[in-house]
A and B are shown apart, each in its own frame.
Chain A
Amino acid sequence: MREIKVANAEGRDGTVGFVALSHKPKHKMAGPAGESVKNKRFLATTDQGLHDALSAKYGEDYGQALIDADPEVNIEEVGRAIGTTDTVYLAASGEVLHAPPKLVELIFGTDGAERERRDPVDTPANITGEYPLRFTKHRMKRKDVVKKFAFARTVQLRHSDGLSYDFLFNMAKELDASDSCVLIGADKSGRGAVVFQQNGSPYRAFLEGRVDGERYQLLLHLSNMELKLPEVTA
């Protein structure tokens, strides 16, 4: 279980575990006799079967050649299962780069046009660093928060011992009683977005709690999108 450092409304912090909530499918795929199958990546064609190679050999209008002789199918190679691979970069000339490429960050506007090029800046994860994730002063009723943001992920906080149970249960109980979610801030300012891994997507995080007797659910709902319409440009 991964760890996250979080502070309660009183500013007491602790390191607890969390799990990402995921959908549990109610079905699976099977073969014609019901036998289990696995989805795998396979070689569909070699480089000689790609558009550039085919058009160089047969001209731009090579449709009839495909029908007549299946030149895109190398029967010795096609269908081989592809296992683990390593990422490589190809220069514009098609050669494999043997040194790391220079990276630039491209910024695009809402119209899709490139606005800026800049050197990329690494964004570190901030869930277990020096500063705990902490409550901000912004609280919203559950019925309001669900109409303002789209939540793409939720992680559930879990205790590891009796002390952390009390810590998390009390947070969940207080939030449940208020029927609200609290905006959680990260970094030194206490207002930063939450980043779970190096250069990962930053999210606005809302903490929600539910209790049922001595059981609890303490949920960090993550959003990177508001429910609003695009600005209309003239």
Chain B
Amino acid sequence: MARNIVVTLGDSESTFSITKLDRKKLYGARKRQALDDTGESCQRASLTQDGRYLLVPGMTAQGYYNEAGTWIPSADIQGVDLEGNPIEKLPSTLGKPQALTKVGPKDVLDLRVGSVYQLEATEVDDALKAALSAGDMFSLPLGHRAGFERDTAILLENPNGLFLLTGKPTPPEWVEPAAAVVIADDEEDDDLDDLDFEMF
């Protein structure tokens, strides 16, 4: 189902509908299937190491536990920053205006792309249309639903159409040079005749 994103460049708003793209739609798919002796498909399951439970899909769920091993209901779970201070949940960005920031190719290369969307322009400001056609790329925050952290999205255009790449930034760290090995440079010690072999 197509959903809308609303972006602002300067004071002007533009709206796009977004539809998810994936490899299956572009190239098809390949998967390995296990068959039993009769040629029928097998079901994948998990066996706990104590042999107590044979787990098939639908039998398990995820939950939060404290250090004492007590389950904490999801409604009581909160988000905190890395210093432990509570943080507010951010609302979904869909349908709400999000400011565009112009970015360069390195910013796009630093994004670990999780999803790709094709965009249909519903209502696009002329300035944004011209900037995208000229090759400019823009970033905006994206949250499909409320959460403690948003994805980064990149809006760009190529000859095939308009695309939105979403994911998390993974900026690389600089690699420092290896410490140079110190070369002995003792003026009093540059005579090969003085090399001591008796010590061996």
By a beta-carbon cutoff of 8 Å, the part of chain A in contact with chain B is 21-23, 25-32, 34-47, 49-51, 79, 81-93, 96-97, 101-110, 112, 115, 120, 141-143, 145-148, 150-154, 156, 158-159, 161-162, 165, 168-169, 208, 210, 212, 214-219, 221, 224-230
CB distance from B146 to the nearest CB of A (A): 13
With an 8 A cutoff between CB atoms, is B178 at the interface? Answer: yes
By a beta-carbon cutoff of 8 Å, the part of chain B in contact with chain A is 21-38, 40-49, 53-56, 58-67, 69, 71-72, 76-82, 84, 86-87, 104-106, 108-114, 116, 118, 135, 137, 148-149, 156-158, 160-161, 163, 165, 168-178, 180-181
**Residue among A92, A146, A156, A208 making CB contact with B36, cutoff 8 Å:** A92
Complex Cα distance A146/B106, Å? 9
Q: Is the CB of A40 within 8 A of B105?
A: no
Q: Is the CB of A26 within 8 A of B81?
A: yes
A-B contact count (CB 8 A): 280
Q: Is the CB of B79 within 8 A of A146?
A: no
Q: Which residues of B contact A34 (CB under 8 A)?
A: 78, 80, 84, 86
With A92-B36, A101-B42, A159-B178 already in contact, the answer to whether A41 and B28 are too (CB < 8 A) is no
Q: Is the CB of A92 within 8 A of B135?
A: no
Complex Cα distance A93/B87, Å? 50
With A28-B79, A89-B43, A108-B28 already in contact, the answer to whether A45 and B48 are too (CB < 8 A) is no
Q: Which residues of A contact B135 (CB under 8 A)?
A: 143, 147
Chain A minimum-CB-distance residue to B74: A29
Complex Cα distance A85/B180, Å? 48
Complex Cα distance A197/B86, Å? 40
| Further pairs besides A82-B60, A147-B135: 4, Cβ < 8 Å | A30-B79, A89-B42, A147-B157, A161-B178
Q: Is the CB of B175 within 8 A of A159?
A: yes
Chain B minimum-CB-distance residue to A77: B53
Q: Is the CB of A85 within 8 A of B78?
A: no
**Residue among B29, B44, B87, B172 making CB contact with A154, cutoff 8 Å:** B172
Complex Cα distance A89/B137, Å? 48
**Residue among A152, A156, A227 making CB contact with B112, cutoff 8 Å:** A152
Complex Cα distance A101/B43, Å? 11
Complex Cα distance A90/B36, Å? 8
Q: Which residues of B contact A169 (CB under 8 A)?
A: 177
CB distance from A161 to the nearest CB of B (A): 6
A-B contact pairs, 26 of them (CB 8 A): A26-B149, A27-B87, A30-B86, A35-B67, A37-B64, A42-B63, A42-B71, A43-B53, A44-B58, A46-B53, A84-B48, A88-B46, A106-B31, A108-B24, A108-B30, A110-B26, A115-B28, A142-B105, A142-B106, A143-B135, A152-B114, A162-B181, A214-B176, A219-B109, A227-B116, A227-B163
